[in-house]
Amino acid sequence: MTAALTGLGDFLVGSLLSAVGLLALPLALLRHRRADALLAAFGAFTLLYGVRLACGSEIAASIGVGGLAQAWVVNTITYVINIPAWAFFWKLLGRGWRSIVVWWLGVMSVFAVVGVGSDLLHQTPGTLARHPNNILVIVGLVVAAIALFVPRRRLTADLKILLVGLSTFALLAVNDNLVSMGLLPWSWREESIGFVIFVGCLGAIAARNFFRREGQLAALESELETARQIQRSLLPGRPPGRAALELAIRFQPTSAVGGDLYDFLEVEDRDFGVLVADVSGHGVPAALISAMVKVAVASHRDCARRPAELLGRVNRTLCGTVQRGFVTAAYLFIDSRRGSLVAASAGHPRPLLCPADSRGAREVGGQGPILGRFTDARYEEECLPMQAGDRLVLFTDGLLEARRGDGEQWGEAALQDFVSRGRSLDAEAFCDALLAEVGRWTGQQRSLELDDDLTLLVLDLA
């Protein structure tokens, strides 16, 4: 009767531990950002221990699990279970590849391979599961104690929880291993009780770390959302003054904030400059540099009518402040009174001009190197007439580099062709149709997601 109750208890506890492990693993591996290694190790360790305990019970034998199958499962898990156990310690205590925890994780990984290989070679389960495994478990507990106490003067809250669980489990585990080796005068073995207490402590640690990281992630996402709102508030909605034109803008960063930038420089009521820039990289670093570019351009607004000179001054400013990365930019100045356009480019895709009296599109703006790298860089500018009805299209290379499944990019030729074909559409409809065309080409019918930030400006002179 007592044996039956013990078998039932082992089966129920093993099933419970297996369920805990099965819940922890997907929670750790299917996180929206990245896998939680500590929680994953806990889940694997708990699942394996629970399966071994349940499978080795008399209840498992009574429901049809054969004795030989039980032996193979139990002994294979005995070899393998040390790997997630020490992976957990590594993530909690590890101090790099030279730490004692990582070293012992390697030892137990090798032993698992040797143990499983020995059983397969001899066609007998458990060839190394008794004395060699028992000795390694006891030595491992000593290693864990060294890792806990030797390098540290102060125990953190997680380590105090771990100490309680580990001490309880260690005492019962050492008892079980010594009993199985015949070195103690009694036969009492209740390692599973210690393991349940140990798992509770590990679960508390894993949960504390999980929710702490989730809280940090939520705070970071909140900060990024604030940064996104700030960045968008710095982007103008339309040119200043009373410029006679129709304008459409699409700004789509790949993350909360991006490295693309557009801006307008007011000179007189109907004369203004247009800037589109692209900072290398993504995210917060690129967004910070783009803010620097905006400030640098605004500080040189006295040469807004001379695009080549403005880009040269901005370049010299950035060369002293941008240590990593670079910036590409295109700048246009529209003189509405004289009916002229002056354009320059700094390593940036040149804007497209679609004249009112032509269905074709042409690139405008002189060539020049990227900003922020070469202090002696020189930029060229192009001057040409403009009239009411002309269309200007400015963009960043996120549009040109849209890819479909085979890796082919959409490219400049496709853009020029669409600009020519879409001449009859107004600015807003043109932007919508252009992005829909790119979406169809890349196979993204519902939501266009690109590998790089995208900025698109369409200006129709009235």
Domain chopping of the chain, boundaries: 2-222, 235-461
Q: Greater confidence, 374 or 180?
A: 374
- What stretch of H or E contains 332? strand 327-335
Q: Single out the residue of 125, 51, 128, 130 nearest to residue 84, CA to CA.
A: 51
pLDDT digits (tens, 9 = 90+) for 226-258: 666 766 666 776 666 556 688 899 988 877 677
Q: At what angle do helices 157-180 and 191-234 cross, to 10 degrees?
A: 150
Q: How confident is the model at residue 320 (pLDDT cuts 50, 70, 90)?
A: confident
Q: How confident is the model at residue 118 (pLDDT cuts 50, 70, 90)?
A: very high
- Which pLDDT does position 134 carry in this prediction? 77
Specify which residues 461 forms β-bridges with: 245
Residue 154 has pLDDT above 90, yes or no: no
Q: Greater confidence, 357 or 108?
A: 108
- Which pLDDT does position 120 carry in this prediction? 92
Phi-psi category of residue 372: left, alpha or beta, with phi > 0 → left and psi -120 to 50 → alpha: left
CATH of 235-461, one of 2.40.30.10, 3.60.40.10, 3.40.50.300, 3.40.190.10: 3.60.40.10
Residue 189 has pLDDT above 60, yes or no: yes
Residue 314 has pLDDT above 90, yes or no: yes
Least confident of 13-27, 142-156, 356-370, 418-432: 142-156
Q: Greater confidence, 109 or 149?
A: 109
Least confident of 11-25, 48-62, 185-199: 185-199
- Which pLDDT does position 233 carry in this prediction? 66
- Give the amino acid at 136: L
Are 115 and 100 contacting, i.e. CB atoms less than 8 angstroms apart? no
Residue 87 has pLDDT above 70, yes or no: yes
Q: Give the other-Cβ count within 10 Å of 355's Cβ.
A: 17
Q: What angle do CA 244, 247, 252 make, to 5 degrees?
A: 160
Residue 116 has pLDDT above 80, yes or no: yes
Q: Single out the residue of 400, 389, 327 nearest to residue 363, CA to CA.
A: 400
Q: Distance between CA atoms of 118 and 124, rounded to whole angstroms?
A: 8
pTM score: 0.59
pLDDT digits (tens, 9 = 90+) for 37-70: 877 888 888 889 888 888 877 776 666 666 788 8
Q: Distance between CA atoms of 163 and 166, rounded to whole angstroms?
A: 5
Are 351 and 333 contacting, i.e. CB atoms less than 8 angstroms apart? no
- Which pLDDT does position 61 carry in this prediction? 63
- Which pLDDT does position 446 carry in this prediction? 64
Q: Give the other-Cβ count within 10 Å of 218's Cβ.
A: 10
- Which pLDDT does position 1 carry in this prediction? 43
Report the sign of the C-alpha dihedral through residues 275, 276, 281, 284, in that order.
Answer: positive
pLDDT digits (tens, 9 = 90+) for 251-289: 888 776 777 889 998 887 678 899 999 988 777 778 888
- Which pLDDT does position 256 carry in this prediction? 66
Q: Single out the residue of 77, 59, 66, 81 nearest to residue 12, CA to CA.
A: 59
Question: Which residue's entry shows tokens 């900025």?
Answer: 455
pLDDT digits (tens, 9 = 90+) for 389-415: 899 999 998 888 888 878 788 888 899
Q: Distance between CA atoms of 3 and 173, rounded to whole angstroms?
A: 20
- Which pLDDT does position 351 carry in this prediction? 94
Q: Distance between CA atoms of 454 and 258, rounded to whole angstroms?
A: 9
Q: What angle do CA 260, 261, 265 make, to 5 degrees?
A: 165
The distance between the two most distant Cα atoms of the chain, rounded to a whole number of Å, is 106
Q: How confident is the model at residue 224 (pLDDT cuts 50, 70, 90)?
A: low
Are 60 and 50 contacting, i.e. CB atoms less than 8 angstroms apart? no
Q: Any alpha helices (H) in 235-343, and if so which ranges?
A: 283-299, 307-319
Residue 168 has pLDDT above 90, yes or no: no
Q: Distance between CA atoms of 262 and 217, rounded to whole angstroms?
A: 30
- Across residues 137-156, what is the average pLDDT? 70
When mean pLDDT is compared over 183-197, 276-290, 309-323, the highest value belongs to 309-323
Q: Distance between CA atoms of 368 and 329, rounded to whole angstroms?
A: 10
- Across residues 315-333, what is the average pLDDT? 86
Are 120 and 75 contacting, i.e. CB atoms less than 8 angstroms apart? no
- What stretch of H or E contains 457? strand 454-461
- Which pLDDT does position 162 carry in this prediction? 73
Question: Which residue's entry shows tokens 């252009």?
Answer: 434
Least confident of 79-83, 178-182, 309-313: 178-182
Q: Single out the residue of 327, 330, 338, 335 nearest to residue 310, CA to CA.
A: 330
Residues ≥6 apart with Cβ < 8 Å to 276: 260, 261, 262, 329, 330, 331, 348, 351, 394, 395, 396, 455, 457
pLDDT digits (tens, 9 = 90+) for 441-454: 888 766 667 777 88
Residue 103 has pLDDT above 70, yes or no: yes
Q: How confident is the model at residue 97 (pLDDT cuts 50, 70, 90)?
A: very low
- Give the amino acid at 208: R
Average per-residue pLDDT for the chain: 81
Residue 6 has pLDDT above 60, yes or no: no
Residue 434 has pLDDT above 80, yes or no: yes
Are 452 and 286 contacting, i.e. CB atoms less than 8 angstroms apart? no
Residue 117 has pLDDT above 70, yes or no: yes
- Which pLDDT does position 303 carry in this prediction? 92
Residues ≥6 apart with Cβ < 8 Å to 316: 375
